[in-house]
Structures are given as structure tokens and as C-alpha cells.
Amino acid sequence: MIIAPTNAVSAEVSPVDVHARGALLLLLASSLGWLVLSGILALIAAIQLHSPAFLQDLPWLTHGRAEALRETAFIYGWAANAGLGIGLWLVGRLGGNLLRALNWTVTGTVFWNLGVLAGLVGIALGDMTSLPMLQLPRYVQPLLVVAYAAIALSGVLAWSGRRVDSTYASQWYVVAALFLFPWLLTAGQMVMLWAPMRGTLQAIAAAWYAQGIWSFWLAPLALAGAYYIVPKVTGRLLPSYEFAPLAFWVLLMAGGWTAGRALVGGPVPAWISTVAIVAGMLVLFHHMVLGLNLRVVLGGTGNALSFIRFGLAAYILSGVLNAIVSFRVVAERLHFTFAGSALDQLAYQGAISTLFFGSIYYMLPRLTGRTWSSGALIVGHRVLFIAGVVGAVVSLTVAGWLQGGYLLDGKTPVADILGNIRGPLLIATASQLVMLAANLLLVVNFFQSVCPCRTADASSPGPFRQPSAVEATAT
């Protein structure tokens, strides 16, 4: 079904984009800096897995710290900045009015990034909290809450002050992410850092928080871009869209409950893992509707859609695999192995990063009013990055499967297992290198594209066609 044209002729580069250009470019530029840093750290951490002696004399880069630094730079550096940039842009455009409170956004961005930087230094010096996904030291956490609220403010204002009364799926997802993250972060801090709960309750809270990062924050931001760009580029109505609200609420309602799968078989009451298994199955409904809605992506072409196609496939696959491995029968073999790292790579690189890349490729020309500097770099980035993700996910899955088998067989000494899975781990390291190289191509292309020194290469009316005019001629 083709979307019918409206009478309003709105330019593809709207005043909304021009007005928000500075603030959003700041968010995107900082996100890319963190992306490269986390890539370097990921490479170091990956090498340390098969060659434990690598950098062993640097106390600030023990494997545990390198891993914590990588994770923090990725989540709070790259994903937070990029996701906020994309989210604000989406609600701004869909709302149809100029974004307000952008000076708050800029100030918030500066302080957020300073906070993350201070946190990384703190982790390197030995102040990490050792809570997964919340490794940032206690002293930067309140700053982050305030800075995030300042950045997100303009997004919530843009949504509530929108020009048309109707709302669209992208808006729900962005508003959910913008609005819920400060609550998530505050709640997580309270019970784990400021007034820590006793014993394993901390581990339960940490699992809930880590799952919340996915279900309440990053997954919604990534999906918002996909929901927006797919109909825009293909011009088609999303099939089964009437189920999109249910899918949205299923993700939010059931998503948080899947936390306990990180603790299966552990020192927590059995019901926590059982509830997680059930919630994991329920969330599959979300993935199914998402697949039905966005299947029109298969028919489109273009850079953004190529990324989004792979990202959505990874997103759905990760949902299905997470549901499967949470069952105790499977977890007996795969829990505590590299299979978990493989799923993380699939979810965070395969789904989140790739969907963000798709959104950025679509969004940047609208922000700058110019095309990307190089088409070849875009293709290079896509090919290399997808190769890297596939390589990392497949090799870590193989490593995890083998490792799980050796661990289950009580006779193989633990010290021998590493030697037996060194091959796949080497491939995983190579994949991290490929991903890093791919992302450097994006960084080069990005800075070439936004550089004011760039000579205007676009033809005078601007690089964009007028969407509604095209529609009129097509019919």
C-alpha cells in the first residue's frame, strides 16, 4: 500500500533541521569519538582473552578494567550520544515545530560527556563499581542524571508541543527512551550505589538495570529510527500497523522482567529466572509484530535501508536467541560461556549500532543540507562492519558452544579449555579489528561531510527532491 500524498508541500530540509543543526551535530560528533575509543578498548579486551599476558603490566588495563571501559564507552559514550541525537531529531521532525530548549541540550551534552570521561578515568584508576552496565564510579552518577534530563528535555517538549495531534510509532519509542532513562538510572543507583541492598539482591538489581538499558532505552531509540525511515524511503504503509501499539507496550511491560535470565542457576530464588524465561517468550510477540510491520524494508534500496535491514534482522534474531538460551536446559551448557558475549555482540553491535548507523546515514544530509562526502566510504563501512559483526557473533558462538561442552564435561581441566577455543577467539579479535576499521571509515566520512571547508558540490536547489511533488507525478 502506497502512502497517499498530502497537500502540504514541506521541504525535505525543514527549518527544524537547520535550527537544531549545531546541537545535534555536537551529539553525533561526540558519539563517534566514543565509538572509536570503545572499539580500541574492545580490541584490547579481545586480545587479552586469548593472550592473557597482553598489557599485563598496566594496572589500568587489566582485562576486567578494559572490559568495563569498553562497555562504558560504548553504552554511555557512543550509544547515549547517538541515540539522543537521533531521538531528538525524530521527535523534532515528526512534531513539526522548532526544537525548544536547545541550549539545555548543548549544555547537557557537554556535561554528560565530561561526566563519562571522568568516569572512564575513574574506572581506569580503580573506582569501577563492578556492576555490569553500571561501571561508572559513584561520583559521576548524579551528574549524568542531571545532564541527561537537560538533553532530553527538548525532546519531551517537542513531543508534547507537536503540531499534529496524531502520533506515530517513532514518537512513542523516542519519548519512552527519553523519559524513562533518568528514572532507570536513578533507581539503579539508589539500590546499588547509594543504599546498596544486601548480598545477591545487588546482583538482581544489576540484572534488572542492565536489562532496562536495553528494553527501556537503547532498543526503543534504535527502533524509532527504523519506524521512521522505512516508510519515508519506501513510501509504503507499514503492514499490520494496528498491532504496533501492542508490540510497543509488550516490549515495555515484559522487557524489564526478562532480567533474571542473567542469573539462571545462580544464588537467587528460582522464580526470578522462571519469570525471566516467561517474559522472554512474551517479548517474542514484540519481535514478531516488528518483523511484520517493517518487512517492507526488504523492498527498498539505499544506504540507510541496507543498514536498517541488517539491524532489524539482528534485533529479531537476538530476541529469539535470548529467549532460547534463557531456558535452563540450554543455559546449563551456554551460561557462563562466550555464547553470552556472542549474544551481546549481536544485540549491541548487530542491532543497536547498525540501526543507529542507518539513522545517521539518513539524518546527516538533512542536518547539513548536503550529501555525504563519499559514497564509497559508506559502502565500505557497511560491508566491513557487517562482516565484523557476523565474524564476531559466529566465532564467539562457536567458542561458547565448545567452552560449554568442555565445562560440562567435568574431566577437562579449566586451564586447558582456553587452549582448545583459541582459534575462534582469534577470529573474534580479528572481527573486532574489522569493526574498528569500518567505524574509522564512518568517522572520516562524517568529518569530511560536516567540514565547513568542504566545497559545495551539490546542485543549486539542494540535493533533495521534494517528496510530495514526486508523489504527485508518480500517480
Partner 1 sequence: MNGPSNSDPRIDQAVVTDDAVVVAHEKLLGKQPDEKARYRLLPLNLLFIFSGLIFFGATYLGRYAGYFDPKVFDETAPKATAAAAAPEDPIEKGKKVYATVCAACHQANGMGLPGAFPPLVESEWVVGSEERLIRIALHGLQGPVKVKGADFNSMMPAAGRVAGSGFNLSDDRIAAVLTYVRQEWGNKAGPITTEKVAEIHGKEGDHKPWTAAELEKLP
Partner 2 sequence: MKNAPVFLFGLLAALTISWAGIVLGSHAQLGALAPYFDDGDQQSYPFRQSGIAARGQLVYAELGCASCHTQQVRRPGYGSDQARGWGDRQSVARDYIHQIVPQLGGLRLGPDLANLAARKPNAPAAEDLMKLLYLGSPTHPAYRFLFQERQISGQRSLKALPLAGRDAPAANYEIVPTEQAQSLVSYLLSLNHAFVYPEARPAPKETKAGAPAHAAPKETPVPAAAPDEKKKTEGAKK
Give, as ranges, the residues between 185 and 204 that touch partner 2 (CB under 8 A). Answer: 187, 191, 196-204
Question: Are the C-beta atoms of residues 236 and 297 closer than 8 Å to each other?
Answer: no
Query: In whole angstroms, how close is the CB of 443 to partner 1 at the nearest point?
Result: 16
Nearer to partner 2, 137 or 311 (CB): 137
199 binds, options partner 1, partner 2, none, Cβ within 5 to 8 A by partner type: partner 2
Check binding of 369 to partner 1 (CB under 8 A): no
**What are the phi and psi torsion angles at 147 (to 5°)?**
-65, -40
Q: Site for partner 2 (CB under 8 A): which residue of 11, 22, 103, 126?
A: 126
H or E element at residue 286: helix 270-293
In this structure, which amino acid lies at residue 188? G
Check binding of 374 to partner 1 (CB under 8 A): yes
Query: In whole angstroms, how close is the CB of 101 to partner 1 at the nearest point?
Result: 21
Q: Give 456-460's long-range contacts (Cβ < 8 A, gap of 24+).
A: 456/370, 457/370, 457/371, 458/369, 458/370, 458/371
CA–CA distance, 378 with 354 (Å, rounded to integer): 13
CA–CA distance, 469 with 39 (Å, rounded to integer): 43
Q: Site for partner 1 (CB under 8 A): which residue of 63, 100, 295, 328?
A: 328
453 binds, options partner 1, partner 2, none, Cβ within 5 to 8 A by partner type: none
184 binds, options partner 2, partner 1, none, Cβ within 5 to 8 A by partner type: partner 2
Q: Site for partner 2 (CB under 8 A): which residue of 67, 75, 91, 381?
A: 67
Check binding of 168 to partner 1 (CB under 8 A): yes
Check binding of 361 to partner 2 (CB under 8 A): no
Q: Is 162 helix (H, G, I), strand (E, B) or coil?
A: coil
Nearer to partner 2, 262 or 441 (CB): 262
Question: Which of the residues 282 through 321 are near partner 1 (CB under 8 A)?
Answer: 282, 284-285, 288-289, 292, 302-305
Check binding of 268 to partner 1 (CB under 8 A): yes
Question: Which of the residues 47 through 106 are near partner 1 (CB under 8 A)?
Answer: 93-94, 96
352 binds, options partner 1, partner 2, none, Cβ within 5 to 8 A by partner type: none
Question: Which of the residues 25 through 54 are near partner 2 (CB under 8 A)?
Answer: 48-49, 52-53
Q: Which residues contact 9 (CB under 8 A, 6 or more apart)?
A: 466, 468, 469
Q: Rounded to a whole number, what is the distance in angstroms from the first to the last CA of the chain? A: 13
Check binding of 276 to partner 1 (CB under 8 A): no
| Residue 261 DSSP label | G
114 binds, options partner 2, partner 1, none, Cβ within 5 to 8 A by partner type: none
| Residue 458 DSSP label | S
> CA angle at residue 123 from 50 to 257, to 5 degrees?
80
**What are the phi and psi torsion angles at 104 (to 5°)?**
-65, -40
**What are the phi and psi torsion angles at 2 (to 5°)?**
-90, 140
Check binding of 444 to partner 1 (CB under 8 A): no
Nearer to partner 2, 52 or 239 (CB): 52
Question: Are the C-beta atoms of residues 425 and 451 closer than 8 Å to each other?
Answer: no
Check binding of 469 to partner 1 (CB under 8 A): yes
Total site size for partner 2, rule CB under 8 A: 83
CA–CA distance, 91 with 79 (Å, rounded to integer): 18
Question: Which of the residues 291 through 310 are near partner 2 (CB under 8 A)?
Answer: none
Closest of 345, 297, 299, 300 to residue 321, by C-alpha: 345
Judged by CB under 8 A, which stretch of 83-91, 252-260, 319-327, 442-450 contacts partner 2?
A: 252-260
What cell does 232 get? 519515508
Check binding of 273 to partner 2 (CB under 8 A): no
What cell does 421 get? 577455543
Binding mask 154-183 for partner 2 (x = CB under 8 A): -----xx----xxx----x--xx--xx--x
Binding mask 392-421 for partner 2 (x = CB under 8 A): -----------x---xxxxx--xx-xxx--
What cell does 36 get? 572509536
Q: Dihedral of CA 79/82/86/87: which sign?
A: positive
Check binding of 443 to partner 1 (CB under 8 A): no
Q: Site for partner 2 (CB under 8 A): which residue of 96, 266, 462, 463?
A: 266
CA–CA distance, 168 with 186 (Å, rounded to integer): 28
Beta bridge partners of 2: 236
Beta bridge partners of 236: 2
Question: Which of the residues 230 through 249 are near partner 1 (CB under 8 A)?
Answer: 231-235, 237-238, 240-246
Whose cell is 543497536? That residue is 352
Judged by CB under 8 A, which stretch of 83-91, 96-104, 262-270, 466-474 contacts partner 2?
A: 262-270
Check binding of 378 to partner 1 (CB under 8 A): yes
